[in-house]
Structure formats: structure tokens, C-alpha cells
Amino acid sequence: MRYLVLLLTVFQLQAQEVLFEGNVYDHKTKEPIPYVNLSFLNTLKGTSTDDDGHFYIDVPKPYLEKQLHISSLGYKDTIVVANDIYKTKKFHLIEESFELDEVVVTQSLGNSDVLNPVSSYSLTSGFSSSSTPWVLALYFPNIGAQKKFVNKVTVFFQKNKNFKRPSSKFRIRIYGVDSKTKKPSIDLLRKSIVLETQTDKDYVSIDLKALNIKVPKEGIYVGLEWLFVPYNWYTTTTIHPLTNKKIVEDRFAPTFGGVYNKNQNYKAMVYGMGNWTDFTVKSKDKSKNFIPAISLKVSKE
């Protein structure tokens, strides 16, 4: 009987979930902000606002006492106690202020390189996401003395039979490099650019020449940010290896492609729960790193 009481107690604790929902607005304009990521720190729970700036997620009631990390490109990263938003059902983000670098007008950018060239045939596996929004970033070194500018980014995807919609959405990020930690630092891309995948294509490219993003001497990170919106949601079903019972798991598209690369200069990192951490997966012979299938075209002066 004692064990039964304990089991019932555990079940009751697990069942005490609340609907955490609300809207995120621009502090100045009062307009809703789409695709804001909200993550409960030190947990694997999170969500994103939809096109109308609305979010919702079921969480255990104790999570309301946890810190919530709220982030969106172009706005100040903010950490608040989740219960404050739970009570008011809304939050206002403050736009990030920054000084624009002098715009560099270049007359000759005919000389260009493609870093980490990828083909669809080289994809071996992929990166998918569940539980909390993540940013997957790949480091590109800046080798050589010439000034370089970001020209084009190409992202490859893996086919996913479980995702039935014709497209999915994600955000592209471009970061500088912290000179001490070598981790991603400030956003070099000052506007939110949301891209769509198409199920009949295994890659998407974006031309960024017009933004005149100079590659810092320390190099650059290209980041892929999952958006936890209903548009991207799907489920997967697996069989538990011990109980043989079906396990249904929520997941979010897209599935970013991955390749093995011998060049040790390329480094993958992931951002989640408020921190950047190394992502290191080696090939069986330890000679290659598994990295996101991102190609970066840079133009030289």
C-alpha cells in the first residue's frame, strides 16, 4: 500500500500542469512580435510566438517559479520569472539599440570563395529539435589578409517522412566571434530573416550581398534557429526498447542536413537554455567532424 501511495503522489505531481500562454509586444510600437523564442532556463521546455505574437505551452506548475529567457533578433535578451507573465498574459520587449558601422561601398567583388561546399549527395544525417528552441551554429574561419563580405548562405535539409506540410520556417542568424571564448557573440545580421523550406527542394539559399556584412578577423558563425510554432509542429512515434510501448514525441521542423568534414577549422555549437555549448560528433575513424550542412559564399575586395 505504501508504494501505491507513493506512485499516486508522483502521478499527481506530474499531472499538475498549467497552460502558459500570452502575447509578446514591441515596447515602443505596441505591435505583436512574431517568432520570439521563450525558454525555461535549466530545463528542456520552451516555445515560440506565432505570426500574431501569441504563444502557449503546457508546463508543470512549479515551472512558473523558474526564470524564463525571452529572445528575438533585434530586441534585448530578457530574463524574467515565468509567473510574472503567467499573471499578465503579456510581455513587452525593448528594441536593441546599436551603432551602425560605416557602410562600405565596394566596386569590385568579383573574386569569391565558397566555404564548406556541400552537395545533396554528401548528406549523411540531420539535426532535428524537440522540447525547446535551439540555435545550431557553424563556425567559418577567416583565412587570408583580404577583406571579405558575406555574399550568400546555403542551407541543406534532410527529408522527413513524419512532417507532412509542404514547407517549414526557420530563422537565419549571423554572429561575430568572442575573442576570448571563441563562442558566437554579437548579431551581425540586425534584422530578423525567416526562411521557408520546400519539401520538393533539399536546400534554400539567401543572398545577403546588399547588407554589406564584413567578416571579422576572428571569423563568423552562421546560425540556424528553430521556431516552435504550430506551423512547424509534428509528432514521431517510437517503440520503447524495454517496455515495447509506443512513445509519441512532439518535434519541430525543419531537419537540417549534416555532413562529415575533415577540416578541423569548422566548429559546431548549439544555443539552448541560455548558453552556448560545443557540439562534437566524430566519424568512426575520428578523422572527421559532423557539422551542419551550411555553405557560405564570401566575396573579396
Cα(90)–Cα(62) distance, integer angstroms = 20
pLDDT of residue 12: 42
pLDDT of residue 97: 66
pLDDT of residue 145: 74
pLDDT of residue 10: 39
Q: Where are the beta strands (DSSP E) in 61-166?
A: 67-71, 78-81, 90-93, 111-115, 125-129, 135-140, 148-156
Long-range contact set of residues 174-180: C-beta below 8 Å, sequence gap at least 24: 174/150, 174/208, 174/213, 174/220, 174/221, 174/222, 174/223, 175/137, 175/220, 175/221, 175/222, 175/223, 176/216, 176/218, 176/220, 176/221, 177/139, 177/216, 177/218, 177/219, 177/220, 177/221, 179/218
pLDDT of residue 42: 84
The low-confidence residues of the chain, meaning pLDDT below 50, are 1-15, 100-109
pTM as predicted? 0.84
pLDDT of residue 40: 93
